[in-house]
Amino acid sequence: MAYPTDRPATWFVTGASRGLGLELVRQLLERGDDVAATTRSTERLVAALGGTDTSRLLPLAVDLADQAQVTQAIATTEQRFGNLDVVVNNAGYGYLAAVEEVSDADARAMFDVQVFGVWNVLRAVLPGFRERRSGHVVNVSSVVGLVPFPGWGLYAAGKFALEALTESLAAEVGDHGVRVHLIEPGYLRTDFLRPVSLGMPRSTSDAYPAVREMVEQHLAMPGTQLGDPAKVATAIITVATSGEAPLHQLLGSDSLSLAAGRLEALADDFDASRDLAMTTDVIGAASAGS
């Protein structure tokens, strides 16, 4: 196992000031682990932790889209704690709009957090992980990274990219002693669907009434989601400490159900595509599908 047993583990958690990230940081501190936590406001993070002992906390104000800031944050973490064991890329926010309604600026801002920010963290931590032949990357995706919905195109696109990046990473670093996992929760009872964590388009179109209805339904959802963020945080710790989780770790009954439906739909598509697919090989060439 990459997780140490002879000392407190050191974690680097992004997106830590509210929701799942905040709950994860709280539980890690209560376990006695060392935690570097990135946020846009270190004051808000410390205040949100309330009575939790923060002597093992290193709060860091970091723009994840800035490679220099991320690299410095990783270096500061290792200088403070002497090591780094687990990285949790959790930062993110929702966005509800039809694809046509997403501006270029909003699309780039989303990918800065969900894709390029993660890439910046990985570039900063992987050399050390490889040298020590230990370390664990946990990327927090979503069931929407497997099952795209109308109105969730931008968010889903970022999570799909994160899924692909993580699968490639896992195949690359396994021989270096580095473990990699994807966490794919369903809807969590957090502020994710409230204005503080939710992006919306500057203008909308009358052409997408179903998307407008979906948005209204989601804005009314807070407080009714099935997922418990405290239990999801505990599950992430279990993934890091047990060494037994699959690459894709679904969390929540809704996540399981939606993912199962997606698998069935994909299988139907693959079967339906077979006849035409088999017509496009070079004549006489060996075919992987034959």
57 C-beta neighbours (distance < 10 Å), count: 22
Amino acid at 129: F
C-beta of residue 247 within 8 angstroms of C-beta of residue 170: yes
Q: Is 141 in the active site?
A: yes
C-beta of residue 93 within 8 angstroms of C-beta of residue 64: no
Q: Which of 93, 95, 155, 208 is catalytic?
A: 155
Question: CA nearest 6: which of 85, 78, 74?
Answer: 85
Distance CA 58, CA 145 (A): 30
Q: Which of 159, 187, 208, 255 is catalytic?
A: 159
What angle, rounded to 10 degrees, do the helices at 153-173 and 104-111 form? 30
Distance CA 101, CA 201 (A): 6
Q: List residues bridging with 188 in a β-sheet.
A: 227
Q: Which of 17, 141, 142, 255 is catalytic?
A: 141
Q: Is 205 in the active site?
A: no
Just list the catalytic residues: 141, 155, 159
